Amino acid sequence: MAFAIELLNELTDQRPHLPFPHSSQVEGELRELRCHHGRDRYRILYRRSEQFIVLLHIFRKNTAQIPESEKAIARVRWDDFGARMSATPRTPPRPLGKDAPMASPNQSIYAGTKGAVDAITLSLSKELGARKIRVNGLNPGAVETEGLSGSGFLNENMKARILASTPLGRIGQPKDIANVTVFLASDESYWINGQIIFAAGGLTY
């Protein structure tokens, strides 16, 4: 078993384990956990929130000191976490990186396809940009369609939850999404490329 773990970690006699991970203070209550996987060293920036540990940012350790830009990312995410926890009603924390679909049981394939569309959009925008072909993604959030209404997903509790999280105070309608789609397909949006457009009335998960 130990040999198998060493293979997974890409460790050899010439490349032994690095020092055991340890934590240190960065500034104020922001702390750093240093760890490694194989030869790669990583920094994890985190803070405590009462009895919880909130992981804010992870990146490769390429410098002796933590770059200010990396600390700034952790500060922004901590502020976002605080705002969500202080909101009424409270909203779930945003996953690290970009916004993700709302997590629900038995929705792993659905959520995975949503994430795949976002990733493919960004890749294609770079591949096709030289040919003057723009590729953007449109994330419509909750839209009141026949399919959604008939699925049973949009019950009264879910509708109330969506409305409470939507600053514009209503659920989206097909026309809301159609208008954005027409704009993105027109010459008026010629300078928009490689973007995930959230047309959801300000809804956040």
Domain ranges of the chain: 2-86, 108-198
Q: What does the pLDDT average to over 53-66? A: 85
Residue-wise pLDDT tens digits, 73-127: 888 888 888 887 787 776 655 544 444 445 555 556 666 677 788 888 888 899 8
Active site residue 205: no
Percent of the chain with pLDDT over 90: 16
| Whether 38 contacts 60, CB under 8 Å | no
pLDDT of residue 7: 46
User: Mean pLDDT highest for which of 41-45, 139-143, 162-166, 181-185?
Assistant: 181-185
CATH 3.40.50.720 fits 108-198, yes or no: yes
pLDDT of residue 11: 53
User: In which band, very low, low, confident or very high, does the pLDDT at 160 lie, cut at 50, 70 and 90?
Assistant: confident
Question: From the candidates 42, 46, 110, 190, which is the catalytic residue?
Answer: 110
pLDDT of residue 170 exceeding 80: yes
Tell me the pLDDT of the chain averaged across its residues: 78
This prediction has a pTM of 0.48
pLDDT of residue 180 exceeding 90: yes
Q: What does the pLDDT average to over 14-27? A: 63
**Phi then psi for 6, rounded to 5 degrees?**
-65, -40
Tell which wins on pLDDT, 14 or 1: 14
